[in-house]
Amino acid sequence: MRWLRLFLIFLLVPLAGCALNARPSTYLVQSKGPYTLDTGDIVRVSVYGETELSTTYRVDDGGSVSLPLVGAVPVRGLTTQMAAANITAALADGYIREPSVAVQIDTYRPFFIQGAVKSAGQFAYVYGMTVRAAISTAGGYTDTADRTRVLIYRKQGKEMAKGTVDLDFPVYPGDTVVVSERWF
């Protein structure tokens, strides 16, 4: 009977350690804050009374949108309201008297998924997407996927942050989701 108790203690101690590390308590990847524009986003710019300027524009590799009359206007890292203010200032600088500009996101930049999913690659982002939805978009898990660990890479400022997240963590445009393979 004594050996049985010792055996159970030696068996339960490692299992208790596994239970403590089941989920990350904090994420290195931030999930709050307003959406900011970056390369690959397509924005709809509306200039009141100027139909030839009111159309969609892609944010280029330099982080700018190129408008007729004013050329490239930097918008990388700006919210849509801040981008509208930049475009308004550019148009008011000798081109249009008191322009009224609105900027909306027409198409978000894509997100990327790689690793143990059936169809890795680049996919269109849908507002409110979670890691679970991203994996479903990529065709689901492969047979060798580790369904307990998912890494997400997200650009935060000028740095790339990495964090282990759960399946209900939000995915943002431009994120890279990596599904690991299990080794047992």
- CATH assignment at residue 88: 3.30.1950.10
98 with 113, same domain? no
48 with 87, same domain? yes
137 with 174, same domain? yes
The number of domains in the chain is 2
- Picking from 54, 76, 107, the residue at the C-terminal end of a domain is 107
Q: 150: domain range?
A: 109-184
Q: Is residue 1 part of a domain?
A: no
What the block records as the tokens of 13 is 């101690």
| Contact by Cβ (8 Å): 153, 131 | no
* Cβ-based neighbour number of residue 154 at 10 Å: 22
| Contact by Cβ (8 Å): 45, 65 | yes
79 with 48, same domain? yes
Report pLDDT digits (tens) over 29-56.
Answer: 555 678 889 999 999 999 998 888 899 9
178 with 115, same domain? yes
Which of the four pLDDT bands, split at 50, 70 and 90, describes residue 184?
low
Q: Is residue 17 part of a domain?
A: no
Contacts by 54-59, CB closer than 8 A, 24 or more apart: 56/106, 59/109
| Contact by Cβ (8 Å): 153, 162 | yes
Q: Are strands 101-107 and 71-74 parallel, antiparallel or unpaired?
A: unpaired
> Which of 102, 172, 175, 177 lies closest to 141, judged by CA?
177
- CATH assignment at residue 143: 3.10.560.10
128 with 144, same domain? yes
DSSP-assigned states of every residue in 18-29: HHHTSS-SS-SS
Q: Is residue 74 part of a domain?
A: yes
Report pLDDT digits (tens) over 82-126.
Answer: 999 999 999 998 888 899 999 999 999 999 999 999 999 999 999
What predicted TM-score, i.e. pTM, was given to this entire model?
A: 0.73
Q: Is residue 19 part of a domain?
A: no
